[in-house]
Amino acid sequence: MQSVQRLVLLGTGLISGSFALALKRARLVKHVVGVGRNIENLERALELGVIDEFSTDAATAVIGADLVLLGTPVGQMGRLMQQIAPNLSPDCVVTDGGSTKQDVCALFCEYLPKQLATCIPGHPIAGSDLSGASAAQFGLYEGRRVVLTPLSQNNAAALEWVRQLWRACGAEVFEMDAAQHDGIFSAVSHAPHLLSFAYMNAVLDRYNADQCLDFAASGFRDFTRIAGSHPDMWRDIALANRDSVLVDLKANAAQLNHLIGLIETCDANALTEYIQRASLARIEWGKPKKGSI
């Protein structure tokens, strides 16, 4: 398969850095340019061999690139697309690692209208509460899933190339409609993150918050791990996938009110059934199966 000559990472962090490392190991990339605003982070990425060169200027960095990966929070992608638009070679493939896809599709259409044949929206499912280039790792995508949400304008060869590159990173590649993607990930990723933030704020608002946190144990630890996630990234996701997220948060508010009602009325049987439904489904989900991490 065709290897990448000049890979430009717009945003040099966990997602983009791990992609570069995996391609390097597969000997499928010749030169990697990391773009970012945080010089310390870029120097660290260079030192770790994640990138071969860095730049703080996206527009000049993409000159001569055959593959560009947008690896920033979604809120920064529009501006970056605008900056690089004049300098992209017509056959340069542009892809992204954003957690929401309808908005990224819309940004591609708005800012790179002449490039749509080779703009391939993608979402590698390898979230982590870690961030920054120093979190990048070989093998992050091993056994993980990547969802591509192709545009109708996409060129089949460009799409196939992106598919093959992700497979070379060890990922299983899926394709679906961007709206379908956003609904699914709102339900199983965006909503839990937001619920976890809300829960942490509820604890912090208690008069005895410090004492509560002092006695918090393993249940709390796991339930709130995702509450330690990056504020800018998750603000962007909440706003970018606003419609789906609101549907799920409202469904959760309704569930919570229903549960409050069962406890208020001491309806022991209904409460048992309610918990049992959740518990059985979670136990079933946790059984080993293909493709889940």
Shortest reach from residue 137's CB to a copy of itself, in Å: 14
Would you state the structure tokens that stand for residue 276, as one six-digit string? 């049992």
Q: Quick one: 72 or 118, whose CB is closer to a copy of itself? A: 72
Shortest reach from residue 48's CB to a copy of itself, in Å: 23
Q: Quick one: 113 or 228, whose CB is closer to a copy of itself? A: 228
Shortest reach from residue 254's CB to a copy of itself, in Å: 8
Contact 104, 111 (CB under 8 A): no
Q: Quick one: 49 or 228, whose CB is closer to a copy of itself? A: 228
Shortest reach from residue 13's CB to a copy of itself, in Å: 16
Q: Indicate if the alpha-carbon torsion angle 121, 126, 130, 133 is positive or negative.
A: negative
Q: Quick one: 6 or 193, whose CB is closer to a copy of itself? A: 193
Shortest reach from residue 197's CB to a copy of itself, in Å: 4
Would you state the structure tokens that stand for residue 155, as one six-digit string? 């060129």
CA-CA distance, 283 to 189, in Å (whole number)? Answer: 18
Q: Indicate if the alpha-carbon torsion angle 30, 33, 34, 40 is positive or negative.
A: positive
Give me the amino acid identity at 71: G
Contact 105, 185 (CB under 8 A): no
Question: In sequence order, which ranges of 26-101 are alpha helices (DSSP H)?
Answer: 39-47, 58-61, 77-84
Q: Quick one: 1 or 213, whose CB is closer to a copy of itself? A: 213
CA separation (Å) from 34 to 60, 71, 87, 125, 157? 12, 10, 17, 21, 25
